[in-house]
Amino acid sequence: MSRLPLTLTASDILRECPDCGLFQAVPALRPAAVARCPRCSATLRRTRRNPVAAPLALATTALVLFAIATSMPFLDLSLRGYGRETMLASGPLALGGEGMWEVGVVVLGTTMLAPVARIFGMVWVLAGMRMRRPPRGLHVVFRWVELLRPWSMVEVFLLGVFVAYTRLVALATVHVGGALYALAGLMLVMVAADAAMDP
């Protein structure tokens, strides 16, 4: 009976080389490091240069942008002297008022609740990692951050707003409010934060 000569620590990851299939333990890497396959030199893992501070700064920015998006006017419509100002929450509320509360809940969840929960979770985990004694359960929060990723649909919502805008300008005078710019900024900042973070 022979045993594997290597003992895996919690931070080592057993990985198969995508190019040659060699199984190997990839050790925990320092920032801006690359692990290559010893047999074929394929890249096994590459770490970000600043895996905590950069995504933390971006996630905090996202939180500020979200606060702006929920507090400022979204779209301003005026038609034959009749004007109406909408907020980010106006859509779900109007859907609820029309008896389509299920759709309203989904819109509210995917455009506001899931994104804000994700951003809060990200800030919590990244800020916690910078503490001398990180709070417990960071991995549980981070699992939720990843689980909420497909439910955070700010970009889909913005695409819908763009389509609605092109139709509405033909009918009424439409003024774009600060919330829409903040939401567009939020989308970009979240993409950047996801790219800068090393799961």
Between 40 and 147, CB nearer to Zn ion: 40
> Closest CB to Zn ion among 42 and 94?
42
Residue 35 in contact with Zn ion, rule: CB under 5 A: no
Query: Of 15-34, which residues contact Zn ion (CB under 5 A)?
Result: 17, 19-20, 22
Distance of closest approach, residue 7 Cβ to Zn ion, in angstroms? 22
- Total Cβ atoms within 10 A of residue 55: 23
Identify which of residues 39 and 143 has a Cβ nearer to Zn ion in the complex. 39
As a three-state string, the secondary structure of 2-28 is: CCCCCCCCCCCEEEECCCCCCEEEECC
42 near Zn ion, judged by CB under 5 A: yes
Helix (H) or strand (E) holding 146: helix 138-147
User: Cα(65)–Cα(199) distance, rounded to whole angstroms?
Assistant: 23
37 near Zn ion (CB under 5 A): yes
DSSP 72: S
Which stretch of DSSP H or E encloses residue 85? Answer: strand 82-86
Q: Least separation, in Å, of the C-beta of 30 and Zn ion?
A: 22
Q: Which residues in this chain contact Zn ion in the complex, by CB under 5 A? A: 17, 19-20, 22, 37, 39-40, 42
